[in-house]
């Protein structure tokens, strides 16, 4: 019996939430540790299942999910893990209009450029805020794994030469 993709994602989401609230407490001699709730990293759950965790929507989505007109960066390879997405440039991922909470400590491992505006050849991404210290450019319509793990901080539309894929 085949399940529609959304049904499978919903089932996995329910399973992850059940695990988060029903995990047994570990025996501990410290009352503080015994009372601590179990925290589930949905990015790790998603990556392990070959899925992505959409930070903005707070839901599991299929790998490489990126709405038309958006640029999406993923914390896992092959479009898995946590995903942050934008419809425009962002000069500071940690404090801009759209923030990417996991980018403070986790590197971007993959990227999908789903922009459709033909005025731009791609999206250039940077390891510093304010579009400084470029490390790569992803052409319009492309997706792929980054060659080197990077803590990214900003990205901008590119109208010049962009290259052939993720760097």
Query: Model confidence over 104-113: pLDDT tens digits?
Result: 999 999 999 9
Residue 132 lies in a domain: yes
Q: What is the mean pLDDT of residues 92-117?
A: 94
Pair (147, 92) in one structural domain: yes
In a domain, 164, yes or no: no
Supply the mean pLDDT for the chain: 78
Same domain, 92 and 135: yes
pLDDT tens per residue across span 138-155: 999 999 999 888 899 999
Are 70 and 111 in the same domain?
yes
pTM recorded for the entire structure: 0.72
Give per-residue pLDDT as tens, 30-76.
555 455 555 556 666 666 667 777 777 777 888 899 999 999 999 99
Verify that 32 and 63 share a domain, yes or no. no
Number of compact structural domains in the chain? 2
Residues 6+ apart with CB under 8 A from 21: 38
Residues comprising the chain, all counted: 167
pLDDT (average), residues 5-32: 44
CA distance 99 to 53: 15
* 58 and 114 belong to one structural domain: yes
**In the prediction, which pLDDT does 43 show?**
65
On whether residue 163 sits in a domain, the answer given is no
Same domain, 59 and 47: yes
Answer whether 52's CB lies under 8 Å from 59's CB: no
Instruction: Report yes or no on 119 lying in a domain.
Output: yes
The full 3-state SS of 152-164, as one line of letters, equals CCEEEEECCCCCC
User: Domain check: are 59 and 73 in the same one?
Assistant: yes
Q: What is the DSSP code (8-state) at residue 90?
A: B
12 and 72 in a single domain? The answer is no
Domain identity same for 60 and 99: yes
Say if residue 32 is in the same domain as residue 59.
Answer: no
Whole domain around residue 66: which residue ranges? 42-158
> Does 88 lie in the same domain as 35?
no
């Amino acid at each position: 019996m085949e399940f529609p993709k959304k049904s499978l994602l919903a089932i996995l989401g329910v399973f992850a939430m059940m695990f988060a609230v029903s995990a047994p407490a570990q025996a501990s001699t410290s009352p503080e540790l015994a009372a601590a709730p179990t925290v589930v990293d949905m990015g790790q759950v998603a990556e392990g299942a070959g899925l992505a965790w959409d930070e903005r929507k707070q839901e599991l989505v299929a790998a490489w999910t990126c709405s038309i007109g958006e640029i999406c960066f993923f914390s896992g390879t092959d479009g898995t893990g946590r995903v942050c997405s934008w419809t425009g440039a962002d000069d500071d991922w940690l404090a801009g209009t759209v923030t990417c909470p996991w980018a403070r400590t986790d590197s971007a491992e993959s990227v999908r450029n789903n922009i459709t505006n033909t005025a731009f050849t791609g999206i250039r991404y940077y390891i510093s805020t304010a579009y400084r210290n470029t490390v790569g450019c992803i052409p319009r319509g492309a997706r792929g794994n980054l060659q080197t793990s990077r803590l990214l901080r900003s990205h901008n539309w590119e109208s010049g030469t962009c290259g052939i894929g993720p760097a």
